[in-house]
Amino acid sequence: MYENFVNSIKDRWDTDPFGNATNGLKSDIALSHVFSYENPIWKKIKKGDILVYGMHNNSATIGHIGIYAGVKILRGKEVHLAIEAGNAGVQYQAIDDSNIGTNSNPSIEIFQYPAEFNREKVIDFATSQIGCNYNVPIVLCFGNYNQIYEEKKGSWFCSEIVHTSYLQAGIDINLFFDKDTYFDPGCTPRNILRWCLKNTTQIH
């Protein structure tokens, strides 16, 4: 359904990098912005790493979540991208030193699953959903991802798209139950953060 849309995005990076939500890239970065990648984290980060916004290891906060999608060429330079679901739908988000914070005080925390898995499957699915709508109500995400996707009809809450993208590689990152304790119903950023703190390495 979105194949032509996604291909058009890939073809337009050099000529139409910003625009608005219809080209898949959030437009909240000024054209005059100079991207900076001095932080050593950019040499460690990998496609599929989980990005946690504004939670600071605190599972008491709902927060926001995205997924690292790799590098594209933008205005002749490499730019690192996230894929996230927000009010304007599923979009790319450019990230650099200016919005990830410092290592000691990160505004975006980055978690990396240490085991080998098919990162391309994760990113391919997330990319295929660019242009889908944002869905505020959190639906139960237990079970087969095909059934979940069919029920949602292509609309996503931020944590749901990250969770379902990881399911493509056979990894369930929604920790809603642990040691006789139930957490948030459905799939929330807090549940994924709990999973990250238990199963991944925080690299930023």
Provide the residue type at 175 as one letter: L
* Distance, CA of 62 to CA of 50 (rounded, Å): 15
Asked whether 94 and 81 are in contact (CB, 8 A), the reply is yes
C-alpha angle 32-33-35 in degrees, rounded to nearest 5: 140
Q: Which two tokens stand for residue 23?
A: 């080209």
User: How are beta strands 181-182 and 201-202 bridged, if at all?
Assistant: unpaired
pLDDT digits (tens, 9 = 90+) for 32-68: 678 899 999 999 999 999 999 876 655 556 678 999 9
pLDDT at 201: 96
* Distance, CA of 44 to CA of 18 (rounded, Å): 27
Helical H runs in 57-178? 97-100, 119-128, 145-152, 158-167
Q: Which residue has the tokens 């988000």?
A: 93
pLDDT digits (tens, 9 = 90+) for 70-127: 998 877 788 999 999 988 899 999 999 988 988 888 889 999 999 999 999 999 999 9
Which DSSP string corresponds to 83-102?
EEEETTEEEEEEE-HHHHB-
